Amino acid sequence: MSLKDKIESVRNQFLADIESFPTSQKEIEDLRVTYLGRKGQVASLFSEMGSLSAEERPDAGQWLNQLKTELAKQFESKVDEMDQGSSGNDLFLDPTLPGIAPPLGSMHPLERTLQEIKDIFTSIGFHIAYGPEIDDDYHNFSALNFPEHHPARDMQDTFFVSPDTVLRTHTSNVQIHLMENEDPPIRHIVPGRVYRNEAISFKSYCLFHQVEGIYVDKNVSFGELKGVLEYFVRQMFGPKVKMRFRPSFFPFTEPSAEVDIWSTERNQWLEILGCGMVDPAVFDNVGYDSSIWHGYAFGMGVERIAMLKYKIDDIRHFYQGDIRFLEQFK
Ligand code: PHE
């Protein structure tokens, strides 16, 4: 076989080997030694040049040098290929390391608070109901015994959609819808969004959430209302929380009260809900006989409760979607 044929056959063998054989850095290195090492195939071809005639030698030298650079190049690119392919592959995988957890969302603190409120009341027999956020003046105000020129109807507080349609300012509108649609006894809580046209600050926002409660039956007493709300507060904030009932006024309840919780952070009482016995005038508006039926109602602010429970100092945190805030509720 001439030297030229031998060169050709080494080249072909090499091309077949490099294509199929090496799967690790070590195998490539072994292959490189076989071909380009000091005693490798290319070196032994070079040594055969000694037996060539002076005329044959220059050409043979050129072919051999070509082969040598060609092989060196191929090894280089094979090593590069392997480096890229192996990152994140077998070479870098340590199965004893803890895994990287995919990021998980968290429940929004308002949703979480609402769930707790719902759990507490449904476990003592309340049903859950919903009602409209856009309602007529009648259900939001008149039927609830608000006098014609009561300041709560003022533009200061109420978003009007039209002269007779409002974004509800409280969930109490659903008291009226429930009593219009069902005969007593009724016992519901009503979670939902409410709207008030107030200056936005750390303690008030144009939108917030309330949970209304209404219970109508024979022989419902104020003592029962106090008992249920005290039970709720202790479930929500723990048995040691300081709370008080403070006399108050609402057009649709008589007598009326508000419940305050003592905040050790702020060193002051914070109001969390309004309540009272359903005013007979409201029963008249929905066609319940107030000589037979009695009831109590309450309405609590979900943000206020969440702020107290989770020690949040600014109501605006609830609506900004800041992950640094939300991630604290995982
Ligand atoms: N609707 C009242 C408010 O928004 C709360 C309330 C509800 C008071 C039910 C009494 C009875 O402040």
What does the pLDDT look like over 183-209, one tens digit per residue? 999 999 999 999 999 899 998 999 999
Kindly state the average pLDDT of the residues 31-47: 90
Residue 258 CA, ligand 1 centroid: distance in Å: 9
DSSP state of 126: -
User: Closest Cα to atom 12, ligand 1: which residue?
Assistant: 274
**HSE of 320, CA atoms in CB hemisphere, 13 A:** 12
Residue 312 CA, ligand 1 centroid: distance in Å: 23
Kindly state the average pLDDT of the residues 31-51: 90
Tell me, what amino acid is at 112? Answer: R
pLDDT of residue 22: 67
Residue with tokens 């959609």: 161
Of ligand 1's listed atoms, the one at least distance from the Cα of 274 is: 8
- In the chain, pLDDT over 70 holds for what percent of residues? 96
User: Closest Cα to atom 10, ligand 1: which residue?
Assistant: 275
What does the pLDDT look like over 95-148, one tens digit per residue?
Answer: 888 888 888 889 999 999 999 999 999 999 999 999 999 999 999 999 999 988
Give the distance from CA 308 to its chain's centroid. 21
pLDDT of residue 88: 44
| Cα angle 57-61-64, degrees, rounded to a multiple of 5 | 135
